[in-house]
Amino acid sequence: MHIQLLGTAAAEGIPAPFCRCRVCEHARKHGGKNIRSQTSALIDGVLKIDMPPDTWHHTVTHGLNWCGVKDLFFTHSHGDHLCVEPVIMRLPGFSNDCTEPLVIYGNETVLGTLRAPTQSSPEHIQRRLLRAFEPVVAQTATVTPLPADHIVEENCFLLWIERLGKTFFYAHDSGWFPEKTWAWLEGKRADGVLLECTMGDRPNRRGHLGVEALLEASTRLREIGVIDRNTTVVATHFSHNGHLHHEELESRLNPAGIQTAFDGIKIAL
Ligand SMILES: [Zn+2]
Ligand SMILES: [Zn+2]
Ligand SMILES: [Zn+2]
């Protein structure tokens, strides 16, 4: 399984448009891995997770098109993960030579948001509802949605992705996992684990995690068998409000064997 992280920031991106904080100024000055766009991932060119407003930027920066994507999974409906316009660009009149149907998976809010703009072309875009703990056999992978502790208004999902004999646990906008999610994870094993580090040096646990809670979560994942010595562990979804730039994040996460993601990073499992 080859995973590319197209963007690695929280909603504002880094640097944030209206911001003069230390992290944003550092990013403007040094560029490189400190420049972060909104979070999204592409697996083997066929499975995409989320469609943020920065999708056009991802198309250009990483030299990609999305014609090969057969399954599009949404974690939740927040504006940095679900932008309607790039989804509409899949429809005839906006796209060319994209023939195979795209299947979109998401919670009720996500599918409700996409219903009106996509329902006229079921031969091009189909929609399927995700339910917690119910695996879906998609065209490209078997995916089990697991509950997060992110917001109360909707079911935000972590994704347990199985494809070609490999398993990737994709978990941002997670908060500290609910106990029923921990119980489901007990005894399972992943080849790759992606966790969120949105809040950096802050002690958050509800809604989003910072470094401290992320390290605690990775320790517990080791204890229950999800992470072992062969598992690749990556942190992503960074906010400037976490107060740490890329090199500072690396200095805190490297000792725990956790990679600090950057835009475009490729992970092979
Ligand atoms: Zn987010
Ligand atoms: Zn800032
Ligand atoms: Zn969110």
Please, what is the average pLDDT of the chain? 97
Nearest ligand to residue 148 Cα = 3
3-state secondary structure of 126: strand
* Distance in Å, CA 77 to ligand 1 centroid: 9
Q: Report whether pLDDT(252) > 90.
A: yes
The reported pLDDT for the residue numbered 70 is 97
Q: Report whether pLDDT(100) > 90.
A: no
% of the chain residues with pLDDT over 90:
97
The reported pLDDT for the residue numbered 96 is 94
Neighbours of ion ligand 1 (CB under 5 A): 80, 173
The reported pLDDT for the residue numbered 118 is 92
* Distance in Å, CA 166 to ligand 3 centroid: 27
* Distance in Å, CA 241 to ligand 3 centroid: 15
* Distance in Å, CA 78 to ligand 1 centroid: 7
Nearest ligand to residue 80 Cα = 1
pLDDT digit string, tens, across residues 60-96: 999 999 999 999 999 999 999 999 999 999 999 999 9
Q: Report whether pLDDT(99) > 90.
A: no
Residue 33 belongs to domain spanning? 2-268
* Distance in Å, CA 25 to ligand 2 centroid: 7
Band (pLDDT 50/70/90 cuts) for residue 207 is very high
Separation of alpha carbons 217 and 36, rounded Å: 24
Q: Report whether pLDDT(261) > 90.
A: yes
* Distance in Å, CA 136 to ligand 2 centroid: 38
Angle, vertex CA 96, rays to CA 46 and CA 38, nearest 5: 50
The reported pLDDT for the residue numbered 80 is 98
* Distance in Å, CA 22 to ligand 2 centroid: 7
Domain count, the chain: 1
Complete DSSP assignment for 6-22: EE-B-TT-BS-TT---H
* Distance in Å, CA 96 to ligand 1 centroid: 30
Q: CATH number, domain at 110?
A: 3.60.15.10
CA distances, 99 to each of 56, 64, 95, 96 (Å): 20, 17, 10, 8
* Distance in Å, CA 106 to ligand 2 centroid: 30
Residues forming a β-bridge with 168: 161, 192
* Distance in Å, CA 93 to ligand 3 centroid: 31
The reported pLDDT for the residue numbered 17 is 97
How would you classify the pairing of strands 102-106 and 40-43? unpaired
Residue 83's identity, in one-letter code, is C
* Distance in Å, CA 80 to ligand 3 centroid: 7
